[in-house]
Each structure stands twice: as structure tokens, then as C-alpha cells.
Structure 1
Amino acid sequence: MMSNSPTFLSRLTRSPVAHDAATATETRAAFGDLAPELAGLLSATAGCSPFLRDLMTREGVWLREALSAVPEAAFDRLLADLAAVPSEQLSDALRLAKRRAALFTALCDLGGVWPLEQVTGALTRLADMAVDLSIRTGVAEEIRRGRLPGATPDDAADGAGMVALAMGKMGAGELNYSSDIDLVCLFDETRYKGVEQEARQSFIRVTRRMTALLSDLTAGGYVFRTDLRLRPDAAVTPVCLSMAAAEAYYESVGRTWERAAYIKARPCGGDLAAGNRFLRTLVPFVWRKHLDFAAIQDAHDMRLRIREHRQLNRALAVEGHDMKLGQGGIREIEFFTQTRQLIAGGRDASLRDRTTVGGLRALAAQRWIPQDVCEELVTLYRAHREVEHRLQMVQDAQTHTMPASAEGVARIAAFCGMEEGAFRTGLLDRLSRTDRLTEGFFAPGAAEEPLPDLSESARSIVEGWSSYPALRSDRAQQIFRRLRPAFLTRLSRAANADEALVALDGFLRGLPAGVQIFSLFEANPALIDLIIDIAATSPDLARYLSRNAAVLDGVIGGSFFAPWPGVGALVEDGAARMAEAADYEGKLDAARRWMKEWHFRIGVHHLRGLVDAFEAAKNYADLAEAVIAAVWPLVVAEVARKHGPMPGRGAVVLGMGSLGAARLNAGSDLDLIVIYDAAGAEASDGPRPLAVRPYYARLTQALVTALTAPMAEGKLYEVDMRLRPSGRQGPVATALESFRSYQETEAWTWEHLALTRARPLAGEMSLRAEIEDFRRGLLHAKGQGAGVRADVAAMRTRLQAAKPAKGLWEAKNGPGRIMDIELMAETAALIAASPARGVEAQLRAGGKASVLSDSDQQTLTDGYRLLWRVQAATRLITEGTLDPATMGEGARAFVLRETGEADADALTARIEQVAGLAARVIDAHLGEVEDGETHHAD
């Protein structure tokens, strides 16, 4: 029956079956002038719905005209006619529009002319207009009577600062056929300073007048039943309250169900701009910055309370089943969708769709639910809503409950165009499928497993958990009781269960609160395996995790195990996360959350063997570079706000040491230098101008503070700036000319060595290039002196005296170990005038320049690579030194896997071997010096 023509008739695809044949025959005769298909639709509809039959009789003339037009145009005309009505005729006009809209949308629905979303969208458009006209009319009357202080007649156009927020199905554009409309009425108190009390009373009168205008039953019927009970603390607050009062309520005592309600909230009448501003202030309340799995338990508890209150906990049956709140009903799908949105929507704004279908599809797109589950729930939701509409169309009743009699069910089956038996079977199947898809999500791990057998010492530890801060609340204890068997069962499989239990105990002891993270574990059991893995390998990382449990958000965020994105993508990601915060401190806290998630990701990937020590080292360095690149513009803008833009060409941040060489470990700090070029400028130009030197000193200190200050989310990095000219005694920021002059005439050989690893990370691009050109030229000039090797030898002697090796698996300090090899590599690069920064590249450069023989180069490279693997593993496990005699089995297994050795003795022997060989090579090249003097440039 479909064609390319857009008329109502050409788009008919279905029809009810007349339940009352006599009424159907009578109606067909009354509309015998219409096309047979249209007359058939009307007669079958009348044979199922006394309400719609009466509307056809009452609005027959208008209906004929509407059915002859394009359906969308007919509905638009209906709204346009309503909008043009004088205020004194508004009550009758609203009721006339509602009757016609009810009839027309029903026929579009029953005939398959409009899909569900277009039907509910049309009903919502009418509700929006009704609310807006009612508010503007009421406000205009208050202004006319002089009861709204300071307002003029023009102010009525935007409700004089009053707004109605559409909640629930109206907010989502999903009004059902006989819906209440849920509204929260607010006013912008900032427009009424000093007269807020009088304004409040005026807006309360407007709200009550609006409610009566929409809800009162007259000879013309009613428009919409209006419910104002979703406002803050409805039992004690007025029907319209200030936005400031509402915001204070949600910030202090707002509950999960209110957060869920505001997913769909939307300004629908009055001052829409003020309403949108208010909703933006609620974003932190609705959309939590961390994944919020505790919302699952809240939603589950709410479901159970609703079922208990309405006595819906009974066997599934067609008669009397509540299609909205009952088992497998509409609310189950809505709760499923909204709860998932609340969990993750704070981190991903793409999930904040107001509609149920849109929300499900957004969740599937971001892999929060499987695509097939999404599509099945969409199909079930639409089918449930159509049945709900048929129930309400019979008598325009606000009901969601199937009839209690077989005859009543037969009517609904006919209204759906189905034979009764097939309707019953299909309905029960859909309800069961909905229940199966949603129930496991809301009630994970409902059955508590028995505890495994525990040793005396283990039982003592487990019994002590109840005293920890994370388990103080009844709710946390309830969730953890369901989790505890899973934790202990997985612990029993660890290489050393007792050792892993002690580490897990440290993790639990350090948690400041438990509901959120325990809910997270319950919804994602694979995280328990990860926690046990971490506890069994790295107690330090487990303790870190207890203090920064929010980093687990990233594990289930969809991309935790994706390939490493690289510096560019990281900078974009970090800048986007910071941009979501409103102020400078908020942006720095956002940077800390973001950095910790990525830092934790690198550690987990290394721990689980997804990357090796060298990949992890590059990832840590990429992350640090991205943090600096993202934070630097933020710091520059903040200083510029106070003191004006950077005078001259600007400044560059140089990474030194391991950061410059792009090889960090889990515990690395950052060696930085800031170099600026005033280019003749004497001071900044801003609200509080500063001379060039204090300006750049303040800018540098602001960068250091941004990176190191302990904030609510901790700190980013420790920063060391001692590699700048003159070390601690020199200014924190160095002028370009001073830097050039110092390096050429005053710097010591060790400072030239440090420059072999310097790398520009952020700042003005041409200045970065100029500094790099200078670095290369300086290395060429300063590496040729006869005293270079003697200077390095003297420095090496002092370093080894100050930092001896501290254990069998010491990788960093001592002869032939990492610092010693790095020193030799830097020396080779300096003598060879090579721009290379990484150890292996510097050693290769030394080989090409005949500073090192091929065998010496290979010996140093082999030793360094083994020692770096040990060092990287060590820093992931502990801040101290690894002792193979006392370390845990999990940690030992990790180090052995990383180094490829069979056991601890073999690794100890190999470390001694490679360090000894490397030390002999370095001894041969640097020799001994007697005077202990080091040289600086002439």
C-alpha cells in the first residue's frame, strides 16, 4: 500500500481489527465518503476504542480535511492555529487542539503512518506549546496587575525568567498517549535581586494557574494532567522555586533517582536560555567524573521497592500485567539505559542522549553494551510502547495495566491487529526476553558463594577487613560480602596466596570508601583478576591503586587494551579532558586524573606482558611529553591573564635526562629547563605588568607548581630543574643569550654531557628549532677538547662513591650499571658530536666515530638493555631495591619473565657478568685521574 506520495492514505501500512463489529459498521457508514482504506481504518479503530469513536464524531469535519493533507503539514497547522489564539480564548483552544491531536496521532499510530518516535514527538510538541503559552499568559497577567516587581510587558515573551523543565518522557520527547507531564518550575532569581520574595510569590501563582489551565476538566475536556512532584523536596517546597535553591538542594542531598531524572530534563516553556544555564550547573551532579557503578545498586533497589509497593512480584501473566513497572516492562529498559548512562556519561558526553532508543544506541556505539543486545532492547521497547498506547487509547485512561479479563485482553489484541492467541504468546515472550536481558545487569552476583578454606593467619586478615574505612557503611559491607568469595577464590590460585593476600589487604586498607569500587568490581568481575594479579606481583602498585582507585575507570572504558595512541593523540585527549573543567584548578585536577589513568594503563600492560620494558619506557615518556604539551598552554594563559602575554618571542620547555632521551620508568621524575627570548622587550603588557626576568621566572614556577602541587587528585610529577645553568643558584628560567654564553664560556663538561639528551617539548616553534641548532653546534665544538675524558672520569669516580650499588639486583648505580653506561654513552655522543639522545643511539654514534670499537659498543648495549629491563621492572614493583631473597614470588616471576632468565640465581649471575664486562670497557675508555679535577670551558 506504500507509494511515493506523502499523503496519509498512501502511507497506510496496517490497521486494527474491529472488536465491536456493530460500532465499526456504524462508523464506516458515517465516513463512507472517504477512500475505503481510510474508512476501514476509522471503523476498526472505533470498534476498539469508545474514546476515539467519540472524537471522530465530534471532530469529523476537521478530521476529513486533516486526512486529505500531508500528515506532518496537518499537525503543523494544528499547532500554528493554537499559537495564534488570543490569551482569553486559550483554555478552550488548548482543549480543542488536544482533542484533535489525540485523534490524529492515534490514527497515524494505528495506521502505521508514523513510527513510534514521531507519534510521541508530536504529542510532546503539543505539550511544549501548551506549557509555554500557559506560562507566558500567566506571567503577562502578573505583569499587567503590577505584581511582578520590575517586569515590563515585553518580559512576558520569555516568562520573565521563569522556566518549566520537562522531565521524564516529556523531556525525552517520548510522551505516551495519555501521559501526565512532569514539570519542574523554576525562576532566575538573579533578575530579582532585593525583591526575590515578591517574585517567588508571583511565579507560584503563575505555576498554579498553568496547572489549572492544563489539568482542569471542563466541557471541552482537559489538556494534560500535570505533575510537579519531581521538584526538589516536593513535600515542603513551593511549586516554583529559585534556581539557586534548586542547585543547592541537588548539590547537598540529590539522590540517584534524581540524577536519572535529569538525564531527560529539558527546558520546554518560558525562559529557555535560563533553563539551559541551570541544567549546565547540574552537569557535575548528574554526570559524575568517575565511573559510577554504585548507580546499579540504587536502580536495582528502586526497582524492587516499586514492585513491592505495587504488589508486582508475582508470576508473569497477561491479565493484569503492568506494562510499565512490571517484570520485563518498559521501566526495566529505561532503567537499564539510564543506569548505564549514569555510570559512564560523566566521562563520555556522547552517552547523554535523552531518549531511550538514542541512549541504547549511544551505549552500543561506545561498546558499553553489545550491539545485538541494543537492537533487541530497541525492538522490545518499541513493541511495549505500542501496547501501552493501545491500552490508553481505549478510554483515554492513564493506565499501563493489561485488562484483568479475557474479553479485555481480546480487545487489546484486536486493537494491535492480532489474533488473541498470537498476541498473548508474543507479549509473554517479549516480557520474558526483556527480563532476561536486564535482570542480570541489575542483580549481579546475587547468590553469595561459600568462602574457600583459609589458613589461621589468612582468616585473621580477612576478619580484620570489616574495620577498614571502605567497609564502614552497611551498603559497602553488603556488596563486599558478595564479592569476598570471588576475591579469596582467585587469591588461592596465586603463586603465593598468603603473600598476595597481604598485598590485597594493603589495597583494601588504603581505600577511603568502598561502595563505588565494590560496585565496579561486581559489575566487572574481570577486574578482580586484575587486582589479584597486581597484588600478587606489585604490592606497591596495589597500594597506589587504593589511593587512586578511579584509574580503574579507564580499564573498562573501552580502549584500555587498544594500541598505544602516540604523543599527538595523547595531547588532544588531555586537552579535551581539561577543557571540560570550568576553571584553572579544575583543569589541573582533570589533568591529574587523565595522566593517572594512562600511567596506570602503561603499568598494567607492562605487568601483564602486553609491552616490554622498552615499550613501556617510551610510553611513559610519551605521556610525560603530552602532559607538558597540554599543561604548558594552560599555564601560559593563566600567567598572561594576570600579567599579559609573554614578552618577546616566548619560551621553550626543554626535557633533560631520561625525559629528553624519551625513556622513563614508572617512578621517574622530570628534568626540565625553561629558556626564553625577550627579543628586546623589557616588560610584559597586561593588568599587572612584569619585567622580563621576573615574568619568565613566574611562568616557570607556575609550570612547576602545575606539575608538582598536591591537589585533590594528587600531583602529576616530581620536577627537577637542577640541570639549568648554575643549578640551584641560577634563575629558574634562562634567557637565550645567557644560555648560549654560559654553555660556550662557563659550563662544565658534565653540563655539556647533559645537553646531549636535551629535547624541546613545548613552546614557540622557531625558538625550539634555534635551541636545537645551537645544541648541535655546541656539541661539535665542545666534544673535541683533550680534557673531556679526564673530566668524565673524575665525575664517574665521585658518582660511584656517592651512589654505590645496594643489592644483587641493583640496576642503576655502581660500576658498569645504567648510570655508568649512560655516562659513557653521553661521552661518546659528545666526542662524536652526535645529536643522538638515546643510549643505544649514542653508543652507535660512538662506534661510527671510532670512539668505541664494535665489540665495546655491543658489550655496553647488551649490558644496558638487560639492566634497563631490571630497572623498569623494579620501579613498577617498588620504590626501593629488589632483594631476590625476600621479594614475593609474583614479583620474582615478573622480573624473570621480563629478563628471560630461568631463576633468581641465573639473573644474579647475569647482572654481575654484564656489569663487570661493561665496567671494564668503560674503565678502558675513561681511565683513572689523579687530581680529581673537572674542567669547564675556556
Structure 2
Amino acid sequence: LFLRDVEHRLQGIADKQTQRLPDDELGWQRLTFAMGFSARAAFERKLRRYRESVRHHFSQVIADPEQETDAAQGADQELLDLWLGELDEAQAAAQLEAIGVQEGDKVYAHLNDFRESRSVQNMQAIGRERLDRLMPLLLEALGYQGHGETTVVRLLAFVEAVLRRSAYIALLVENPSALTQLVKLSGASPWIAERLTLHPVLLDELLDVRTLYSPPERAELDDELRQQLLRVAEDDLEQQMEVLRNFKQAHLLRVAASEVTEVLPLMKVSDYLTWLAESILNQVVMLAWEPLVERHGRPSRLDGQPCNPDFVVAGYGKLGGIELGHNSDLDLVFLHDAASGGMTDGDKPVSNEQFYARLGQRIIHILSTRTMSGQLYEVDMRLRPSGSAGLLVSSMDSFEKYQLNDAWTWEHQALVRARVVAGCNRARARFDAIRHQVLCLERPLEKLREDVLAMRDKMVDHLGEKGEDRFHLKQDPGGIVDIEFMVQYGVLRWASSHGELTRFTDNVRLLETLAALDIMSAQDAGLLREAYLAYRSAAHRASLRKEKSIVDDTQFRDLREGVRAIWKHWFDLQG
């Protein structure tokens, strides 16, 4: 906090982004006064004390190369000899298996290839010394956890990625807990191993298991991201985008670690991933909004008042249903509530419509541009009014007219899972009112039934798994989409007489509501809930293994048959 205060005073005095201490007496006097000290010497003493304290703690994490102890002394000398290639193949395999490593011969072959690789042979002396300290410790951790060839391949890919940045190797040598987590998580999930290899900075997340396996609350996510962005100049969009991506990667690692170790149940995992996306989206909206306002001024409302921002991002699909997965894209719709035909109030005015179109483009740019740290999210805007042919950002008035007069039944099905995930409360209330009104419309029952069944048949034909011995968890009959369609049909069929069906957007609570209203039997709702969570949990695990959401036909057979029986009863009853 003291160093942050010094930084703020420096930036206030210089009126620019800087962290450099003064190089002249007047600058020191100004900083001393701004920090509340009467004399420069007293201020410098306190500053020096804090810096020495920070340096001490830093040295406990990553020791100076000249002061490092020989960590290899603590490791079994035979493991060091094994790594250095001083044992024959049979001895090495036997030694590995003796400490618990599976498939010792295959593991040793990979170690041999890695040690003789050009990347290792060309290392600088200090880096090679650190690597020689690390490898026996890594093998020890590998054996302790009973891993084998698959895990060692992932670990060696990671080590190779950090050979030129040996501070990461030193971090693992000096932090056995972090090394343990690296081995454990790499063995549990190729997805996690790949993330760590691509972004070694994420090793920091492994240092403290208390934060690694303890997801923050939504407000904590918001505050953490806001504080990280405060350290970046307001006009440095490139660095802001890097902060957003690093923030996302760190929390993706935390939630994946919590899931593969079964610290968090599925519903909590989805909550965490959804909150993470919402925190990012809210910051992205502000990062896109403020430069446009500075350039063009604010758009105007119908009553002439300036907008603030009178704009929302509506999340559909998994985001709207609070069911995001690890690799989910974002189904988004952008809406504004400014006056039609109005102008912004700045020195370079543009129409309200042009302002919000630029806002939408800027948001998509921040979310989807690939930087050195990757992409924030894939964005799908096809659910906006008129789809790809429609405006990128629609007014609330045109959105309401479209939903009431022109939308297809499948678009109203999508609206069941839609909710505002970023933007202002004023526009949020307007969206919620429109959604409630649309979902509560009286619908011709036979046409509703026919439309829903026709769309489902179309999806099975185009997206279902064609092999008879395979089951697509999402698309095949008896799978996730069957359950979603039954819920959506239930809302569109009965919301006109039971308005409370528009309250929730997630399938689990909607199933509970349908049962509470006696529209669906408690037994049927319970089975659908069980199947839905089982399918989603299996899909999450497949994602972390970098596999498709397709399983053997023998899996979930009872649940699938139960879902199909309820499907037939549900729609035959309405026919």
C-alpha cells in the first residue's frame, strides 16, 4: 500500500503514467511533501525499509543464483544419476518403478530424448544447473503420485517451454508445493497442462493452494480485475487487453484445478465460469465506452438526457443459462435505449445509432482479437434480431417489435435462456420487461408443438452422432438438447398463465419451477435434472481431457431411455 501511494503521488505530480523516483532535489521535496513527511531523509528511510522487506520475501520465493542451496542434495542421488544418464536403461526403469512411476521404461525413454535434445544441450550454465536440480524433484513427485508416460510427456513439454526462462524452473525448485500441484494437475488434465505450457506465468497460481482451490465471490472477481486494470494507462488498449486475458487464464486454471480434483461440484464450476465472463464483459463495456464518449460525447435519451450508458449485453445460451463450460463461446446480443435519430453531445457528434454501432464493434474487437496471450472469447452474434443480416446493435424499441411480430418460435426458445450480463440497470429493467412480455404471449398450441418438434428433428439430422455405437451427450435423442427443448416448450406453453416461469434462465431451476406448479411431475423433473447434470458433468470432464462430448453407447443408457420416455409423454400429452 505504501508503494502504491508513492506511485499515485508520482503520477499525480508528473500527470503521466510513471513509476520512476525523482532524479532532482525539487522532485524529491514535492514527493516527500505529498507523502506527508516533513523531511526527505525520513521519507527515504521508510521507503528503503519497505523495499528491503519486499526484497527479502522475494528472495524466499526465487533465490539469487549465487545464494541458491544445492536442492539436488535433498533428492535421491540415484535420481540425479538417472536424469544425467549415468544408469543403464534397465537400472533406470527399475529405479523409476521402485519410487512409484508407472511405465518406467517408456518414461526413461522420454527423459533420455529430452536430455539429449538440442534445447537442453544449448542451455546456459545457470539454466542447466537449475534444470539438473529440478528433474530429480520432478521424478520424485511423479512417483509419489503414481503417474507414468502420459503425464511425463505433458510435463516435459512444459519444462521445454520454460528452458529459456529458468526463473520458472527456480520457482519450482524452491516451492515443492507448486511442483506437486504441477504434476498433479498435468496428470489430471491435458487441458490444464496445455494452458500452463502456453502461459507459464500461471505457475504463480500454483504457489498457494488456498487460493488455487478457493473460488472468489463475484464481487471479489470484479474488484480484482478493476484493480489490475487501474495499473494500466487509460489509453493503452493493448496492455488492457493483455490484463484481461491474463486475468481470465489465471481463473480458468483455478476453476479447472478445482473441478478435476473434485473440490467444486458442477453447478459451482459453471457459476464461477459464468461470473468470470460477466466480470470481464462489464469491464470491456466500460473500456469500449469511455474513449468513444471522450471523442463524440454521450448519446441522448428520448427525454434529452445523456445516456449513461443505456446499453446492455444480453447473454444467451450457456452464458444466459449460467452454464458456461471451459471452452464455451459467448452468445451475445447488444441493445441500446437511446432516442432514435438523436445525436451525441460532443465536439464531433455522430448519430446515436452510429455511436452504438462503433461501441459494439469495439467490444467485439477487445473480446475476439488474438494477442500474445490468446483470445478472450469467441463471440457469436447470430441470435440478434434478423440474425447475421441485422444490425450489430439494436434499439430496445426495434428489439421489442421484432420479438412481438417477426421472431420465429426458435428465437423465443432462445429468449427463455437470455438475461442481461453487462450494462446499466435502467436498460436491464427494460430488457427484462420485454422478455417477460414476449415469453408470456398466448401461443397457438399446436403450432408451438409442431415448431419445437420440427426444430429438434432438424438439429438431430444435422448435429447428432451418426455412429450407432456412440452417444453425443448434447445433440442425440435423450441428451442435453432434449431436456432443454422440453423446458423451453414448457415456458412458452404455460408462461401466459404462470408468469413466474420467466424468472429464471437456467434449466435446473426452471425444471424445479415446472414441478412446483404441477405442470410436470416431480418424478419426471427429478429424472431430467439428474440426467442434465450427469451429461453436463461428463461433457466438462471430456473438455478437460480435450475430447469431444461423445461417449460409448452403453453409457447413461437408463438416463437416456428415461429422458426419451418423458419426451414422448410430454409432447404426446400436448398433441
TM interval, shorter chain, is 0.7 to 0.9
Q: In structure 1, what is the equivalent of residue 378 of structure 2?
A: 718
2:335 to 665, 675, 682: 675
Structure 1: gaps spanning 5 or more residues: 1-170, 172-189, 191-246, 248-261, 277-351, 371-436, 885-907, 931-938
Q: How does 1:150-549 map to 2 (within 5 A)?
A: 269-272=25-28, 354-356=47-49, 359-360=52-53, 442-443=68-69, 445-447=71-73, 449-451=77-79, 453-454=92-93, 455-466=104-115, 467=117, 472-474=122-124, 475-511=126-162, 513-549=164-200
1:172-213 CA-to-partner distances (Å, cap 9, x unmatched) read xxxxxxxxxxxxxxxxxx9xxxxxxxxxxxxxxxxxxxxxxx
Q: In structure 2, what is the equivalent of residue 593 of structure 1?
A: 246
Q: Give the distance between the partners of 1:690 and 1:778, measured in 2 at CA.
A: 32
Structure 2: gaps spanning 5 or more residues: 1-5, 7-13, 33-44, 83-91, 94-103, 302-306, 496-500
Q: Give the distance between the partners of 1:926 and 1:622, measured in 2 at CA.
A: 35
Q: In structure 2, what is the equivalent of residue 804 of structure 1?
A: 464
Q: Give the distance between the partners of 1:546 and 1:821, measured in 2 at CA.
A: 38
Contact 2:473 2:479 in 1 (8 A): yes
1:826 to 488, 496, 503: 488
- Per-residue deviation at 1:832? 2.9
Structure 2 residue identity aligned to 1:704: I
- Per-residue deviation at 1:710? 0.9
Q: Give the distance between the partners of 1:462 and 1:822, measured in 2 at CA.
A: 49
1:724-744 CA-to-partner distances (Å, cap 9, x unmatched) read 111111111111111000000
**C-alpha distance 549-468 of structure 1, shift in aligned 2 (>3 A):** farther
Instruction: Give the SS at the match of 2:511.
Output: helix
Contact 1:579 1:587 in 2 (8 A): no
1:815 to 461, 473, 477: 477
Q: In structure 1, what is the equivalent of residue 425 of structure 2?
A: 765
2:557 to 912, 915, 922: 912
Structure 2 residue identity aligned to 1:924: H
Instruction: Give the SS at the match of 1:610.
Output: coil
Q: Is the counterpart of residue 700 in structure 1 residue 360 in structure 2?
A: yes
Q: How does 1:535-614 map to 2 (within 5 A)?
A: 535-556=186-207, 560-561=211-212, 563-582=214-233, 583-614=236-267
1:404-453 CA-to-partner distances (Å, cap 9, x unmatched) read xxxxxxxxxxxxxxxxxxxxxxxxxxxxxxxxx99998436153643252
For the pair shown, which has the larger CA radius of gyration, 1 or 2?
1
Contact 2:299 2:342 in 1 (8 A): no
2:567 to 922, 934, 938: 922
Contact 1:368 1:558 in 2 (8 A): no
- Per-residue deviation at 1:783? 5.3
- Per-residue deviation at 1:637? 0.8
Of 783-792 and 611-620, deviating more is 783-792
Q: In structure 2, what is the equivalent of residue 730 of structure 1?
A: 390
Q: How does 1:32-51 map to 2 (within 5 A)?
A: none
1:242-281 CA-to-partner distances (Å, cap 9, x unmatched) read xxxxx9xxxxxxxxxxxxxx99x665724438999xxxxx
Structure 2 residue identity aligned to 1:655: G
Q: Is the counterpart of residue 841 in structure 1 residue 505 in structure 2?
A: no
Contact 1:642 1:688 in 2 (8 A): yes
- Per-residue deviation at 1:790? 1.5
Q: In structure 2, what is the equivalent of residue 876 of structure 1?
A: 544
- Per-residue deviation at 1:910? 4.9
Contact 1:267 1:275 in 2 (8 A): no
Q: Give the distance between the partners of 1:439 and 1:706, measured in 2 at CA.
A: 40
Contact 1:809 1:870 in 2 (8 A): no
- Per-residue deviation at 1:788? 1.4
Q: In structure 2, what is the equivalent of residue 7 of structure 1?
A: none
**C-alpha distance 778-508 of structure 1, shift in aligned 2 (>3 A):** same
1:701-737 CA-to-partner distances (Å, cap 9, x unmatched) read 1111111111132221111111111111111111111
**C-alpha distance 761-515 of structure 1, shift in aligned 2 (>3 A):** same
RCO (CA 8 Å, sep 6+): is it higher in 1 or 2? Answer: 2
Instruction: Give the SS at the match of 2:391.
Output: coil
Q: In structure 2, what is the equivalent of residue 659 of structure 1?
A: 319
- Per-residue deviation at 1:659? 0.6
Structure 2 residue identity aligned to 1:758: A
Q: How does 1:61-76 map to 2 (within 5 A)?
A: none
- Per-residue deviation at 1:510? 4.6
Instruction: Give the SS at the match of 1:747.
Output: coil
1:528-549 CA-to-partner distances (Å, cap 9, x unmatched) read 2222222222223212210011
Q: In structure 2, what is the equivalent of residue 867 of structure 1?
A: 535
Contact 1:458 1:498 in 2 (8 A): yes
Q: In structure 2, what is the equivalent of residue 325 of structure 1?
A: none
Q: Give the distance between the partners of 1:846 and 1:783, measured in 2 at CA.
A: 18
**C-alpha distance 880-440 of structure 1, shift in aligned 2 (>3 A):** farther
- Per-residue deviation at 1:801? 1.0
Instruction: Give the SS at the match of 2:141.
Output: helix
Instruction: Give the SS at the match of 2:249.
Output: helix
Contact 2:72 2:136 in 1 (8 A): no
Q: In structure 1, what is the equivalent of residue 96 of structure 2?
A: none
**C-alpha distance 841-270 of structure 1, shift in aligned 2 (>3 A):** closer
Contact 1:580 1:587 in 2 (8 A): no
Instruction: Give the SS at the match of 1:450.
Output: helix
**C-alpha distance 810-445 of structure 1, shift in aligned 2 (>3 A):** farther
**C-alpha distance 725-691 of structure 1, shift in aligned 2 (>3 A):** same
Structure 1 residue identity aligned to 2:266: A
Contact 1:617 1:663 in 2 (8 A): yes
Q: Is the counterpart of residue 751 in structure 1 residue 417 in structure 2?
A: no
Structure 1 residue identity aligned to 2:243: A
Structure 1 residue identity aligned to 2:28: L
Structure 2 residue identity aligned to 1:820: D
Instruction: Give the SS at the match of 1:664.
Output: coil
Q: Give the distance between the partners of 2:547 and 2:426, measured in 1 at CA.
A: 39
**C-alpha distance 558-496 of structure 1, shift in aligned 2 (>3 A):** closer
Normalized against structure 1, the TM-score is what? Answer: 0.50
Contact 2:367 2:375 in 1 (8 A): yes
Q: How does 1:772-811 map to 2 (within 5 A)?
A: 772-782=432-442, 785-805=445-465, 808=470, 810-811=472-473
Q: In structure 1, what is the equivalent of residue 292 of structure 2?
A: 639
- Per-residue deviation at 1:811? 2.2
Q: Is the counterpart of residue 855 in structure 1 residue 523 in structure 2?
A: yes
Q: How does 1:58-97 map to 2 (within 5 A)?
A: none
Structure 1 residue identity aligned to 2:528: L
- Per-residue deviation at 1:922? 1.3
Structure 2 residue identity aligned to 1:480: L
**C-alpha distance 801-438 of structure 1, shift in aligned 2 (>3 A):** closer
**What is the number of residues matched between the two proteins?**
505
**C-alpha distance 783-479 of structure 1, shift in aligned 2 (>3 A):** farther
Structure 2 residue identity aligned to 1:549: P
Q: Give the distance between the partners of 2:291 and 2:69, measured in 1 at CA.
A: 48
Q: In structure 2, what is the equivalent of residue 79 of structure 1?
A: none
Normalized against structure 2, the TM-score is what? Answer: 0.79
Q: Give the distance between the partners of 1:776 and 1:363, measured in 2 at CA.
A: 59
